[in-house]
Amino acid sequence: MEFIYSALFIMCLRIMDVTVGVMRMLTVVQGRKYTAGALGFVEVTIWAFAIRHIMLNLDNILNIFGYSTGFAIGNVLGITVEQKFGFGYMQIYVVSIHYTDKIADALRNSGFGVTILPGEGGRGGVAILVMLIARKRQHEAIEIIEKIDPKSFISVQPAVPYRGYIRQGK
């Protein structure tokens, strides 16, 4: 029974350190160096306790499976936490052939800042909606767009604001 508890202990430590590691990687990408440093400290401290426990109990093969399982679950949990809390910003581009103004109005009424740019498509002129929004509101914005034009082209990528005003909305 002690072998199982040992493996579960290691698994829990790995879930924690990998979840923190995912959050740390996101803060690195966003350029938040002090937050990334603090998260890195926590991540490696937890990892050191896990690896120490494994090294002291090398005869327990279940520890390796606990380590691996914790790593896998930690990745899933880290991504889930990021999606729920939505750290950072996203840049969204939208091309809608017939509903550009209607989409822009609906987004603005919901508190999103929207810029409309002229563009040239394969069959003529198009308008491109550009938004820089908080990651946690990404699904809300896409829902609004898809309700109005389910055939619109939507492109989403991470963004790191450099300067200027970002409308936070409602």
Structural domain boundaries, residue 144: 89-159
Residue 170 lies in a domain: no
Low-confidence ranges of the chain (pLDDT < 50): none
The Cα-based distances of 76 to 21, 80, 103 in angstroms read: 12, 6, 33
The number of helices, as runs of H, and strands, as runs of E, in the chain is 5, 4
- The pLDDT tens digits for 144-153 are 999 999 999 9
Same domain membership, residue 65 and residue 53: yes
Same domain membership, residue 100 and residue 77: no
Residue 167 lies in a domain: no
Last residue of a domain, one of 57, 85, 113: 85
Same domain membership, residue 100 and residue 62: no
Residue type for 47, please?
A: W
Q: CATH no. for residue 122?
A: 3.30.70.120
Q: What is the torsional sign of CA 143, 148, 154, 160?
A: negative
Last residue of a domain, one of 39, 56, 85: 85
β-strand partners of 126 = 119
Same domain membership, residue 147 and residue 111: yes
Same domain membership, residue 75 and residue 109: no
Same domain membership, residue 55 and residue 93: no
Closest CA to 129 of 148, 161, 168: 148
Place of tokens 């890195």: 40
Residue 8 lies in a domain: yes
Q: What was the pLDDT predicted at 166?
A: 66
Residue 56 lies in a domain: yes
Q: Which residues contact 165 (CB under 8 A, 6 or more apart)?
A: none
Q: What was the pLDDT predicted at 124?
A: 83
Same domain membership, residue 59 and residue 32: yes
Last residue of a domain, one of 85, 106, 124: 85
Same domain membership, residue 54 and residue 97: no
Q: What was the pLDDT predicted at 91?
A: 95
Same domain membership, residue 103 and residue 78: no
- The pLDDT tens digits for 52-87 are 988 888 888 899 999 999 999 999 998 888 777 777
Alpha carbon distance 57, 155 (integer Å): 49
Same domain membership, residue 53 and residue 37: yes
Q: How many domains does the chain have?
A: 2
Q: What was the pLDDT predicted at 88?
A: 78
Closest CA to 97 of 61, 59, 70, 125: 125
Q: What was the pLDDT predicted at 10?
A: 94
Residue 66 lies in a domain: yes
- Coil/strand/helix, residue 84: helix
Q: What was the pLDDT predicted at 89?
A: 85
Residue 160 structure tokens = 């790191």
Same domain membership, residue 110 and residue 54: no
Same domain membership, residue 71 and residue 32: yes
